[in-house]
């Protein structure tokens, strides 16, 4: 299933991570559906995708630490 990650920063500098997946509706049309919408800590410097142990992992990087974001539990 295709996925798209969007990071937004609003005028107050609050950051959000949103994950979208292609979904079919009742008439079988394909569309992007938001499946995750969570805040990011202000200390997150960047978000990247890494291949770790044969699996694609969404990671967030902060000074002196890297976290793996789990979209199923919506936690790092």
**pTM score over 0.85:** no
Give per-residue pLDDT as tens, 38-54: 999 999 999 999 888 88
The answer to whether residue 68 scores a pLDDT higher than 70 is yes
Give per-residue pLDDT as tens, 13-33: 999 999 999 887 766 778 888
Domain ranges of the chain: 3-69
Query: What is the 3 state secondary structure string of 17-72?
Result: EEEEEEEECCCCCEEEEEEEEEEECCCCCEEEEEEECCEEEEEEEECCEEEEEECC
Report, as an integer, the average pLDDT of 67-73.
85
């Amino acid at each position: 299933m295709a996925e798209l990650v969007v990071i937004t920063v609003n005028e107050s500098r609050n950051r959000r991570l949103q994950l979208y997946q292609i979904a079919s509706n009742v008439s079988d049309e394909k569309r992007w559906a938001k499946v995750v919408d969570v805040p990011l800590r202000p200390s997150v410097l960047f978000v990247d995708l890494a291949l770790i142990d044969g699996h694609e992992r969404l990671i967030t990087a902060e000074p002196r630490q890297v976290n793996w974001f789990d979209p199923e539990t919506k936690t790092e």
